[in-house]
Amino acid sequence: MTARLILASGSTARQDLMAAAGLVFEVRPAAIDEDEIKRGARAASMSADDTAMLLAEMKAMRVARSVPDAIVIGADQLLVCEGRWFDKPGTPAEARAQLQALRGRSHVLVTALLCQRGDQRIWTHIARPKLEMREFSDAFLDDYLAREGAAVLSSVGAYRLEGLGVQLFDAVSGDQSSVLGLPMLPLLGFLRQTGAIAS
Task: Write the pLDDT tens digit of every residue in 158-181.
Answer: 999 888 999 999 999 999 999 999
Cα–Cα distance measured from residue 199 to residue 197, given in angstroms and rounded to the nearest whole number: 6
CATH code at position 90: 3.90.950.10
pLDDT value at position 1? 52
Q: Is residue 56 in a domain?
A: yes
Cα–Cα distance measured from residue 69 to residue 87, given in angstroms and rounded to the nearest whole number: 33
Looking at the structure of the chain, the number of domains it has is 1
Q: Is residue 137 in a domain?
A: yes
Q: Is residue 100 in a domain?
A: yes
Q: Is residue 199 in a domain?
A: no
Q: How confident is the model at residue 55 (pLDDT cuts 50, 70, 90)?
A: very high
Q: Is residue 165 in a domain?
A: yes
Region 68-76: what's the mean pLDDT?
A: 96
**Cβ contact 113:186 at 8 Å:** yes
Tell me, yes or no, if 142 is annotated catalytic.
no
> Residue 43 CA to chain centroid, in angstroms?
22
pLDDT at 10 over 70: yes
Q: Which domain range does residue 115 map to?
A: 5-193
Q: Is residue 198 in a domain?
A: no
Q: Is residue 97 in a domain?
A: yes
Buried b (16+ CB within 10 A) or exposed e, 145-158: beebeebbeebbbb
Question: Average pLDDT of the chain?
Answer: 95
Among 16, 33, 49, 76, the one annotated catalytic: 76
Report the residue count for the chain: 199
pLDDT value at position 193? 94
Q: How confident is the model at residue 31 (pLDDT cuts 50, 70, 90)?
A: confident
Question: In 10 A of CB 162, how many CB atoms?
Answer: 13
Cα–Cα distance measured from residue 114 to residue 125, given in angstroms and rounded to the nearest whole number: 6
| pTM of the entire predicted model | 0.92
> What are the tens digits of pLDDT across the range 87-109?
889 999 999 999 999 999 999 99
